[in-house]
Amino acid sequence: MPTLRVASYNLRGLKDSADAAAAVVRAIRPDVLLLQELPRHPGSEYVVSSFARSCDLLWSGRTRLLSGTGLMTALRVTAADSVDRRLRVGLRENPRSYTTTRVRLPEGPQLDVVSVHLSLRAEQREQHAGTVLAELARARAGSEDVPLVLGGDLNEERDGAAWQMLADAVQEVSADRPTFPAHQPHRHIDAVFARGHRGARPGDPALLEGMPVREASDHLPVWVDLEV
């Protein structure tokens, strides 16, 4: 049965060691890498392109402009154009968005994949989760049989209203383990959810033993192998 490895990683704007972050990604070897906090400063497209090459992944160069969400894909995966969707925030608040695209495996199956980065404000997170789910439902009307994968930095744990809203719509499939902060993780705020898959195997954190996760970012990555 075809298997797709999907990972999610908050890169903290590559303000730490991009080489360390790339080493972590290469160790995971994702087919799809959902990203948060890609750098957006002038000229940063060269930084992101270089990072993608270091990860042995492809980046379209078209995402990250709204708030830093984006994605990269492995050579074995065919991806449609990525689309950024803005999430409403208040005046002078940090911008928020999500990025979505449809990918296809060589064996034929298609999946819709989504990278999200929710707000630091609880009430805004709940609003944004509802907006993402509603807009995805409209965009996928008529193709609900296509599996859906959503992952990212939720900025809250399982008891949060936004997390519960997402979990009611799509199944949590990544490992139940703390992801933040990387140097001493004690909060589980990063996750991958899916719907329409045949099976899921959460990523084994032992894969990251000896990897420079503390030097790479303030978050740990999460990943899952999905049977589709």
Closest CA to 223 of 179, 187, 180: 179
> How many residues appear in the chain?
228
DSSP notation for 1-25: --EEEEEEEE-GGG-S-HHHHHHHH
Which residue range is the domain that position 218 belongs to? 3-227
Q: Is the pLDDT of residue 65 over 70?
A: no
Strand-pair category, 3-10 with 32-36: parallel
pTM of the model: 0.95
Q: pLDDT band at residue 42, thresholds of 50, 70 and 90? A: confident
For residue 127, give the 3-state DSSP assignment. helix
Distance from CA of residue 192 to its chain's centroid?
7
Calpha distance 116→8 (Å, rounded): 9
Model confidence band, residue 67 (pLDDT cutoffs 50, 70, 90): low
pLDDT bucket at 66, cuts 50 / 70 / 90: low
pLDDT over 80 at 48, yes or no: yes
pLDDT tens digits for range 3-33? 999 999 999 999 999 999 999 999 999 999 9
Amino acid 187: pLDDT: 97
CA distance linking residue 178 with residue 190, whole number of Å: 8
β 3-10/96-104 pair status:
unpaired
d(CA 26, CA 55): 5
Give the integer Cα–Cα distance in Å for 71 and 63. 8
pLDDT tens sequence across 119-146? 999 999 999 999 999 999 999 999 989 9
> Among 11-20, 37-46, 184-193, 206-215, which is the least confidently predicted range?
37-46
Torsion of CA 20, 152, 71, 73, to 10 degrees: 80
Please tell me the least confidently modeled range out of 69-73, 107-111, 135-139, 174-178: 107-111
Residue with tokens 């990072």: 51
Residue 141: both structure tokens together:
């009307």
What is the rounded distance in angstroms from the CA atom of residue 217 to the CA atom of residue 214? 6
Q: Which of 10-24, 93-107, 201-215 has the lowest mean pLDDT?
A: 93-107
CA distance 196 to 77: 19
CATH number at residue 109: 3.60.10.10
pLDDT band at 63 (very low <50, low <70, confident <90, very high): low
The continuous run of DSSP H or E covering 104 comes out as strand 96-104
Question: Higher-confidence residue: 43 or 8?
Answer: 8
Q: What total of structural domains would you count in the chain?
A: 1
**Band of residue 207 on the pLDDT scale cut at 50, 70, 90:** very high
Q: Which residues of 193-222 are buried (b: 16+ CB within 10 A; e: fewer)?
A: bbebbeebebbebeebeebbbeebbbbbbb
